[in-house]
Every structure is written in C-alpha cells, then in structure tokens.
C-alpha cells in the first residue's frame, strides 16, 4: 500500500504546524470550543438588518406550537385557513384543531401504505422500492397536496372540538408502535400473496388491518367528531357564529376556500428537472382516491412574483424550505450573511455548492413548512425581506416570527402554494400537463415536518 493512501505521522505533524502557525486558527479554535460554531460565526451587522416592520404585513392570531411533532405542514396549512376565519368574523385570534387532520392523515396514510404494499407484492424484499416503503411509513411530515386531500374529504374543526392529546403533541412513541404494526401487516400481505392469495383476499386482510389502525389511533388521539357545536364571540363579546356543524360544513361556511385553486410551485434548478414541466413523486400521497402530489417547476423569480402578488391581495402563503440552513434561531433570522462560516474556518463550506448541487449531493431539501405573512420591497417592487410565521411557539425568534432575507429565499425555499391566478398562462399550461414521475427518493419528494 502506497504511503499516499495513508495518514502518516509526517502528515499529522505538517497539519499541526500549519494550524498553529496561523493566528486566526487559534482565535477561531478558542471561540468555537467556548461557544460553538454558530455563536462564533454570528455576524451581528447582518442580524441587525432583520426589521420587524414590512411594506406588506398581514395580521395573524396568536402563534401556534407544534410541540414535539412533525406537523408543520398541517400547522402552516391551518394557519392560512384560520386567517380567513379571523378576517371573516373579525377575530383577533382563532385556532383550528391540528389533532383532527393528524388522525385522518395517519388513518389514510396506513391505507395508502397497504395499497402500495399490495401493488408492489412481486418486488423482491431487498429491492430499493420495498426498502423505501418500509423505511418510514408513519412519519409526521407531509406536503400541501396531501393536506388539501384531507380537507376535501374530512373538513376542519375548531381546536376545542378536538383538542390536543398527549400523543398529538408527542408523536414519536405513537409512530414507533404504529410503524411496527404496519411492517407486520406488510409481511402478512406479502406472505399471503406468495401463497397465492388473490386481490380480494389481500384486500380482506387489509380491511382487518385497517380496523386495527382505527382502534390504535382512537386510543392515542381520541375519535374525531362527526359534528360539533360552535359558539364564537369576538373581543367585544359579540356572538359571531353559532350552531351545529359537520367538519365539512364548518370549512365551507367559515374558511370558504377553493382548495383546487391552490397549487404547488417548486424551484429545483437541477439538470434533471427542466423548468415549465409538471412533476409527481412515486408513492407520495395519503388519500388513495385523490391521487398523489403534483408540482410545476419554475425559476425562483416566478415563485417570488406569485408570493408577493398573493400577499398584496391580503392572503398568506404556504411555503416549504430547508429551515436549518443559515438560521440564527435565537434571533429569528434566516440569511446566508448572518453566519460567516467560511471565514471562521477559512474553508469553502457554505460556498462549495450552489442550490442545484446541494440538491444533487444530498446537502439540502425541504424540511419545514411555514407561512409568509409579509414582505419588504425595494423601489422597483422587488422583495428584500420576508416575514415568516412559524409554528414553534411565541418564545422562539421574534415572538414566534422569523425574518428571511431575499437571498435566503432564493437559496433555500423549494416550494410555495399559491392561487392559480398568480401564474402566467404558460406556467399554468405546464402545471396542467402530464406530470413526469420522480423516484420516491428524489429530494422533491421530501416531507416537511
């Protein structure tokens, strides 16, 4: 074996001398070992630019808190919907139940999982697709199209109609046990198929398994209400709404949102995903009869244009991003300039990959969903800063809100949801075209949690 393949004492001695001969290395070492990378790399001047007053600024209710769960996509979606209720009824704050869609998502996702297991029963157990299906079938994460499917089928309810339970706010133990049950069900279905069971027999097994799923979820979360009484008063004590509603009736009357008008727009500047094409992701979804997800891939400037237009019309914007990147959590600031990592280490760390390469080389993908509630514009009408409503409670960031620079939006926002009317005819035609199916493990199939 050649010495050039191994780390020798001479190599270590040279690295030691090089490190200690540089005064900047010693200062960086002392700072990082004492306070950590982010604190040592924090750029106070960039952090100070994060204003809390915006040219376009929507007023939302009290900040919500997803606690120890991966329900950000639900919280972000419900935050866009409660905004409509508050506006309609003149309320300062209001909250929709997040436990309610959690129950139905788990229930529907189990059915989706078993159907995919049946459909792939001829695949070998050691194949990549089966490994993908079995890897994490009961995670909390999701996307807008999946939430839209839930609301179209099940509606929404006020928080008091189905309040939080221990396991809606702390989902890991519940998910862990349910995942084991699903894997056991997958084995049962695959074994039955191998023994010659026909599709009717497999679906009979699935029906029995799904009965168990309902029992499990009802024990952990409680049963979702089929109807409920409503009494909503504003801050002056005036009764704004009363009566008995089903979840679908409540959504229709108080949210009053054309769900099918709101579509997903992504920005994936990779060579394998040309702009102005529609995409879907194999195996990604929850409600079987509503199908999977659909996106149109557009340049980032198109996402900004549509988001600004919807905000100017007085409605928040659901979006998905890689929230862990360039984020000063204590300050509530998202900006590539706030952490000067490359100067601290004198290495191309943040700067070694562009957005496309970060996707291609597994460095970045959508991890979290939030809502845009405001934007600052320059003299030419271009965005400079974005106001973001998070769902981590009001003790984080700027009383529950975060501020993102426009450069951070460019680099780390991957998806927005906007009304179709904010897209051009060319963009809409692309969205409505036959979608290209992406592999289940494609980064655009990541789930916000």
Residues acting as catalytic residues: 72, 368, 390
DSSP string, 343-400: HHHTS-SGGG--HHHHHHTTS----EEEEEEEEEE-TTS-EEEEEEE-SB-TTSTBTT
Interatomic CA distance for residues 39 and 43, integer angstroms: 9
Task: Quote the distance between the C-alpha of residue 305 and its chain's center.
Answer: 21
Structure-token pair, residue 290 = 């509503």
Closest CA to 99 of 47, 56, 154, 45: 154
Q: How far is Cα 361 from Cα 275, in angstroms, rounded to an integer?
A: 20
Pairing assessment for the beta strands 56-57 and 262-266 based on DSSP bridges: unpaired
Q: Which residues contact 57 (CB under 8 A, 6 or more apart)?
A: 373, 374, 387
Name the strand (E) or helix (H) holding 183: helix 172-194
CA 414/CA 297 separation, integer angstroms: 10
242-255 as b/e: b if 16+ CB within 10 A: eeebebeebbeebb
- b/e 388-408 (16+ beta carbons within 10 angstroms → b): bbbbbeeebbbebbbbbbbeb
Q: What is the largest CA-CA distance in the chain?
A: 83
E-strand ranges in 195-348 read 228-233, 239-245, 262-266, 277-281, 295-297, 317-321, 327-328, 333-334
CA-to-CA separations, 60 to 4, 244, 261, 374, in angstroms, rounded: 61, 26, 22, 11
């Amino acid at each position: 074996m050649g010495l050039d393949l191994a780390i020798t004492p001479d190599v270590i001695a040279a690295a030691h001398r090089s490190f200690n001969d540089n005064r900047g290395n010693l200062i960086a070492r002392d700072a990082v070992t004492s306070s950590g990378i982010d604190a040592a790399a924090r750029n106070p001047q960039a952090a100070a630019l994060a204003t809390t007053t915006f040219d376009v600024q929507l007023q939302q209710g009290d900040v919500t808190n997803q606690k120890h769960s991966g329900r950000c996509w639900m919280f972000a979606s419900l935050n866009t919907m409660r905004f409509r209720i508050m506006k309609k009824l003149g309320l300062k704050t209001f909250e929709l139940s997040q436990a309610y869609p959690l129950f139905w998502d788990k229930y529907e996702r189990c059915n989706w999982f078993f159907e995919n297991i049946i459909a792939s029963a001829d695949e070998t157990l050691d194949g990549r697709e089966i490994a993908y299906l079995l890897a994490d079938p009961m995670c909390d994460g999701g996307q807008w199209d999946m939430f839209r499917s839930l609301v179209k089928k099940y509606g929404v309810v006020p928080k008091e109609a189905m309040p939080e339970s221990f396991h809606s706010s702390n989902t890991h133990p519940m998910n862990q046990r349910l995942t084991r049950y699903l894997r056991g069900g997958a084995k049962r279905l695959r074994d039955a198929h191998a023994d010659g069971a026909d599709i009717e027999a497999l679906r009979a097994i699935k029906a029995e398994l799904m009965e168990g799923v309902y029992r499990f979820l009802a024990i952990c979360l409680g049963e979702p209400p089929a109807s409920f009484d409503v009494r909503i008063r504003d801050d002056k004590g005036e009764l704004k709404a009363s009566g008995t509603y089903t979840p679908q009736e409540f959504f229709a009357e108080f949210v009053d949102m054309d769900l099918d008008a709101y579509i997903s727009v992504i920005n994936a500047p990779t060579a394998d995903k040309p702009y102005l094409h529609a995409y879907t992701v194999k195996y990604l979804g929850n409600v079987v009869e509503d199908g999977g997800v659909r996106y149109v891939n557009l340049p980032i400037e198109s996402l900004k244009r549509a988001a600004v237009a919807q905000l100017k019309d007085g409605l928040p914007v659901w979006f998905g991003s890689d929230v862990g990147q360039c984020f000063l959590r204590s300050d509530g600031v998202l900006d590539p300039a706030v952490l000067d990592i490359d100067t601290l280490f004198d290495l191309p760390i943040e700067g070694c990959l562009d957005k496309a390469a970060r996707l291609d080389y597994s460095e970045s993908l959508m991890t979290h969903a939030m809502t845009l509630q405001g934007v600052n514009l320059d003299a030419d009408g271009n965005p400079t800063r974005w106001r973001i409503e998070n769902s981590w409670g009001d003790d984080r960031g700027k009383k529950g809100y975060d501020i993102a620079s426009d450069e951070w939006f460019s680099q780390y926002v991957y998806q927005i949801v906007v009304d179709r009317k904010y897209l051009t005819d060319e963009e809409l035609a692309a969205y409505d075209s036959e979608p290209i199916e992406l592999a289940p493990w494609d980064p655009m199939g990541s789930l916000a949690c």
